[in-house]
Amino acid sequence: MTIDSGAERTIVQRRLVSAEWLPCTVDRLCGVTGDCMPLQGPVDVRISVGSAEVNLPVYVAELEEECLLGYDYLKKTRACVDFGRKVIKVCGYDVPFLPEVGRSEVVTTRRMQLAPRSECRVQCRLARPMQSTEGLVEPASDCRLADGVAVGRSLVQAGEKVVTVLLANFSDEARNIPAGTAVGECVEVQRAEAPPQGERAAEGAPLPSFLEDLATRSAVNLTEAQTELVCDTLGRYADVFSQSVSDLGRTSLVKHTINTGTHAPVKSPPRRIAPARREEMQRAVNDLATQGVIERFCVD
């Protein structure tokens, strides 16, 4: 969770809300850059922070953060931030801050050129090595790479100063990467202990139904222990798999552009749909709404 005292209302991701239908609103979430995104709600949810639990009407948006606690939450819980003790008092309970995470800029050591539609492993250096823990190289929002160029995530061992990073060029043109270019950042991570095999069955957590067929096909020619490990891995990363043909995902690694050249915009008058095709059109609209590609607009 992230606290934003400048936000009037608390906002959460859609997946954290169990309600199937959310009310429409004309309100928008706008950042300091002027970019805005649509909101849905409000909807009542129960928020737990430490030992404090409160019911609060919140809005829903496609955020990077799971939950953005706004002024309404801080006011209702009489929150008080103590930077000296590094705690926030919520409903009389002390909640400690998350430990500070070490970060380091990742920059290229030499000039190179990425061919169109290709990928290449590039030697980079860390501005500050991870001293006592491992690090994860990942894209950074403030790194301005050439259009169509993306950096892959990679693990860095503690104390390493030079790392190998995967760069991909998704564009149809070659891209030059000068020496000293910041391609991402390395963030300290803690390695989690893998649960012992068989723990999934002991906990009674079955594999999601939409992954059962994939698990069966993946287990061909595998031993029982290997099959169990495959099922455990699929279960832990079930959120990255598409559940159906209508379950569309999103990516921030690739930008899609349509080059219209110097052609002027074209405006066409609205046309009535033939009665024989109205049912087909309505079905297509409903499918797009279900997938989240479009949203319904409420008119008062």
Alpha helix (H) ranges present in 53-185? 71-76
Neighbours of 266 (CB within 10 A): 6
CA distance 289 to 293: 6
pLDDT band at 158 (very low <50, low <70, confident <90, very high): confident
pLDDT band at 300 (very low <50, low <70, confident <90, very high): low
DSSP result, 227-238? HHHHHHHHHHTG
CA distance 63 to 229: 33
pLDDT band at 100 (very low <50, low <70, confident <90, very high): low
Q: 């609205």: which residue's tokens?
A: 270
Angle at 60 between CA 98 and CA 188, to 5 degrees: 25
Give the CATH superfamily of 2-96: Acid Proteases (2.40.70.10)
Residue from 150, 210, 203 nearest 175 by CA: 150
pLDDT on residue 33: 66
pLDDT on residue 205: 59
Neighbours of 43 (CB within 10 A): 17
Is the Cβ–Cβ distance between 156 and 71 less than 8 Å? Answer: no
Mean local confidence (pLDDT), 192-207 = 51
Residue type, 293: V
pLDDT on residue 192: 58
Per the DSSP assignment, residues forming a β-bridge with 41 are: none
CA distance 35 to 30: 6
Q: Provide the mean pLDDT of the chain.
A: 81
pLDDT band at 202 (very low <50, low <70, confident <90, very high): very low
Q: Select the more confidently predicted residue: 86 or 211.
A: 211
Range 103-189: architecture per CATH: Distorted Sandwich (2.70)
pLDDT on residue 99: 65
Question: According to CATH, where is 2.40.70.10 located in the chain?
Answer: 2-96
pLDDT band at 203 (very low <50, low <70, confident <90, very high): very low
Neighbours of 76 (CB within 10 A): 15
Question: According to CATH, where is 2.70.40.10 located in the chain?
Answer: 103-189
DSSP tag of 127: S
Residue from 145, 142, 151 nearest 178 by CA: 145
